[in-house]
Structure 1
Amino acid sequence: MATIEELKHKIATAKDLNSVVKTMKAVAAVSIRQYEKAVESLTEYDRTLEIGLQILLRNQPEILLKQSSTVDGRIGIIVFGSDWGMCGQFNERVVEYIQENQENWSINADDCFILALGSRVCDRLEATGHKCEACFTLPSSIGKITSTIQEMVLILETWRQQNQVNRIIVIYNRILNGATYNSTGLQIFPLNFQWLKKLHQQQWRSNSLPTFTMNKDKLAAALFRQYFFVSLYRACAESLKSEHSSRLAAMQMAEKNIAERLTKLNMEFNHQRQTIITEELFDIVSGFEALTD
């Protein structure tokens, strides 16, 4: 049985840990809202990009439609994970999702290029036999997402031009409802043919005829880069939101367990203290009776 001093130390440790958990809960809750706003801010930017693609489709549809039909060749995979722990099975789910869909995507180790965001998911991937061509540290704030995504876009352009990567898939965890998230895969290249066709048939909202003056190939390349940027930015923000939601749920469970542990320790401490007081009273009574006799 633990002594009074040992119980005091355990109670103090549990209280310190509880304060840390509460702080992490608050940070996670604030971060979730920030990343929600980041995703919402992409709406207008995304609309502008669609207008650019619509203009190119109306004037030079063969450029985009030709790219959307390319399905063979090497594949590039962008994986979003985490750098920090205490977020449940966050990284394990992403790696399991890749393993489950490996055959569907026809992933061959020699023709696959993987770029990972998060040291923990990178370690998980390499442990399952997947080689990471590059590993980025996750942005620590909203402001740092842009620079990180821009570096990734440059790598994707290099893969397309120098390594003949004709398919690019983004894999990340996405919030479904509340704190529930699920791994998902999004093919950002080649572009979805049905989406382009729908965009091509969409009615132009102005009486002015859409056109462009710059070189069509340069315009298409610029639109591709912006499309990659928007898709990766959204995936990064949603992945970070999912990570903090998972961490928030983990901290809520930890807080509940700590509260139960504290209750148990306090009961044990009170019982131990009462036992000691009772023993001391017995000693006093016994001593008094001995003196009286």
Structure 2
Amino acid sequence: MATLKEVQSKIVSVKKTKQITSAMKMVATSRLRGAQNSMEQFKPYASKFSEVLGSIAGKSGGDASPLLVPREEVKKVALILCTSDRGLCGGFNNNLIDKAEKFVNSELEGKDVSFYCFGKKGRDWAKKGPVPIDEQYIGVVGGSVEFSVASTSGQKLIDSFLEGAVDEVYLIYSEFQSMARQVATLKQILPIPSLDEMVEEKEVVQDDAFLPEHICEPSSEALLSEMLPKNIFIQIYDALLQTSTSEHAARMRAMENATKACEDMVDELQTIFNKTRQAGITADLMDIVGGAEALKG
């Protein structure tokens, strides 16, 4: 059985750990509020952009832009992996890395794959494997996400796709559904999925409501050539915002669970301390009584 001093030292240590986890939870909560506000403020713009693009798509054919045309044979694939720079957020990064690993080992087996890594955790994992890293962006997720980062990386991918260096581009990020649920999501962004599907999806969302008709000046084809690249930038930026929000939510929940675990551990150690102290007092009393009886004898 542990001595009183050892148990008391453990209690002090766990209480200090509880203070740290509690402070980290407060920091994550504060950052979560800012990240969530940024994500929600961007939603109306992304929704309106998708609405206009879907409307213009109905005026153009499926070959209006080379970004819409799939390759006959897919040999080279670029995978954008969004993770965090720091840990202590539960299984947040592991879920994203597992998603990427399963996708590479199953769907992309036998193909030439390269990574675009946002975040240290994904970068460090990719370094251990045979898949090369074309680009890495550190200090983006979890902080103040700038649209310029998404447009810069998106333009490089578009140029690679148009030059034939890449045949497909996929995006893996954490979709923020609620404070308690963040889902690792896989999405293809190049070539851009069929515009007909985009129109049908928008009609379903409208739920038989009026679908706006937009007058195009210049032609719809000219507008699409400008809007389709921006659509790629918007998807990457939205993925970064959602991943950043999901990271803070996951860390807040992980620190909350760690704080509760510390409280339970302190209660358990306090019980052990009381039992050990009581056992010591009982042993001392037995020695006193025994000594008194010996003196009487």
> What TM-score, normalized by structure 1, do the two folds share?
0.79
The alignment of Structure 1 onto Structure 2 pairs a total of residues equal to 289
Q: Which amino acid aligns with 1:118?
A: G
Q: How does 1:49-88 map to 2 (within 5 A)?
A: 49-50=49-50, 53=53, 57=57, 61=61, 64=64, 67-72=67-72, 73=74, 74-88=76-90
Residue in structure 2 matched with residue 6 of structure 1 by the alignment: 6
Q: Distance in 2 between matches of 1:222 and 1:263?
A: 63
Q: List per-residue Cα deviations over 1:196-236 (Å, max 9, x = no partner).
A: 44499997747x833138993xx545423321221112111
In the alignment, structure 1 residue 262 sits paired with structure 2 residue 266: yes
Establish whether residue 192 from structure 1 lines up as the match of residue 193 from structure 2: yes
Which residue identity is paired with 2:265? R
Q: For residues 227 and 172 of structure 2, what CA distance do their matches in structure 1 show?
A: 22
What is the distance in 2 between the residues matched to 1:169 and 1:124? 18
Deviation, structure 1 residue 54: 5.3
Aligned counterparts, 1:1-293, within 5 A: 1-50=1-50, 53=53, 57=57, 61=61, 64=64, 67-72=67-72, 73=74, 74-102=76-104, 105-106=107-108, 108-110=110-112, 112-139=113-140, 143-193=144-194, 194-198=196-200, 205=212, 209-212=215-218, 216=222, 219-281=223-285
Deviation at 1:11, TM superposition (A): 0.7
Matched residue type, 1:254: A
Report the secondary structure of 1:114's partner residue.
strand
Q: Which residue identity does 2:183 align to in structure 1? A: N
Contact 1:86-1:247 within 8 A present in 2 as well: yes
Residue 191 of structure 1 aligns to a residue whose secondary structure is coil
Cα distance, 1:67 vs structure 2: 3.4
Residues 216-263 of structure 1 deviation map (CA, whole Å, 9 limit, x = unaligned): 3xx545423321221112111222232233323332332232222111
C-alpha change, 1:289 and 1:47, in structure 2 (3 Å) is closer
Deviation at 1:291, TM superposition (A): 8.0
Which consecutive residues of structure 2, in runs of 5 or more, have no partner in the other structure? none
Question: Does structure 2 retain, via aligned residues, the 8 Å contact 1:92–1:124?
Answer: no
Structure 1: which 5+ runs fail to align? none
Offset at 1:92?
2.8
* Alpha carbons of structure 1 residues 120 and 60: separation in structure 2 relative to 1, 3 Å: same
| Range 282-291 or range 188-197, more displaced | 282-291
Contact kept, 8 Å, 2:141 with 2:243, in 1: the verdict is: no
Q: How many percent identity over aligned positions?
A: 22
Give the distance between the partners of 1:197 and 1:291, measured in 2 at CA: 101
Question: What SS is found at the alignment partner of 1:230?
Answer: helix
Distance 1:120 1:271, change over 3 A: same
SS at match of 1:79: strand
Shift in Å, 1:117: 1.2
In structure 1, C-alpha distance between the alignment counterparts of 2:216 and 2:296, rounded to whole Å: 112
Shift of 1:171: 0.8
Amino acid at match of 1:192: P
What TM-score, normalized to structure 2?
0.79
For 1:50, the aligned partner's letter is S
Contact in 2 for aligned 1:91/1:124 (Cα 8 Å)? no
Asked if 1 retains the 8 angstrom alpha-carbon contact of 2:85 and 2:121, the reply is: yes
Whole-angstrom CA distance in 1 between matches of 2:54 and 2:227:
11
Residues 94/108 of structure 1: CA separation in 2 closer, same or farther (3 Å cut) = farther
Distance 1:213 1:239 in 2: 36
CA contact (8 A) 1:118 1:137 kept: yes
Distance 1:177 1:44 in 2: 18
Q: What is the CA–CA distance in structure 1 between the aligned matches of 2:255 and 2:166, rounded to whole Å?
A: 41
Change in CA separation of 1:67 and 1:226 when aligned onto 2, cut-off 3 Å: closer
Deviations 1:163-202 (A, max 9, x none): 5324221112224455233322111222221334449999
